[in-house]
Amino acid sequence: MPERPTVLLVDELGRALGPSDKLEAHEAPGRLHLAFSVFLFRDRQLLLQQRATSKYHFPGIWANACCSHPAPGDDIVDSAERRVREELGLDADLDDVGTFIYRAVDPGSGLVEHELDHVLVGTLAADAEPNPDPGEVAAVMWVPVRELSAGSAAELPDAMAPWFAEALEIALQTRAEAAIGGC
């Protein structure tokens, strides 16, 4: 019998409290655990993914390129880069650009996301195209960054993940600061 996935429980300051079964951490009321949200940019576009309908929480909704949890003891950046390869078939060098805590209840399953979420950002080649794993990703789309930074949701799907807006703000702020700094 395969070992069930685990997540790392943390306090509000990110200090490790110990491992937990992934599903148990997501049961109400939700236990604060470590996670990451990856934003991938290509030229002036951002990659979005629609979560597979087989996901046990928030199935079928749109989110950033990749989200997951590092296993206890794993480096967050290494774990996120590995997950991007597994889910999207892309190699990306990622930078950890900030964190936030959020809590959201999936109305369908009642499961709870309560995460200390690390936002990671990567830039892909202009011709990069994902090759998504259908067990993880139902669909992908590239959205012009100008649509996001202008505050317009014209290009965004209706059903966006509850963590998306706050994580996106951190990702876009980092890109704006890099552009101002000449990076």
Catalytic residue among 66, 67, 81, 87: 67
Residue 166 known to be catalytic:
no
Beta strands (DSSP E) in the chain are: 6-10, 16-21, 33-42, 45-51, 62-64, 66-68, 95-105, 112-124, 137-144
Q: Which of 81, 87, 113, 115 is catalytic?
A: 115
Contact 26, 111 (CB under 8 A): yes
For 17-108, where are the alpha helices, taking DSSP H only? 22-26, 76-88
CB 139 within 8 A of CB 121: no
Contacts of 160 (CB under 8 A, 6+ apart): 61, 62, 63
Q: Residue 130: is the preceding peptide bond cis (ω within 30°)?
A: no
Q: Has 115 been annotated as catalytic?
A: yes
Catalytic residues: 67, 115
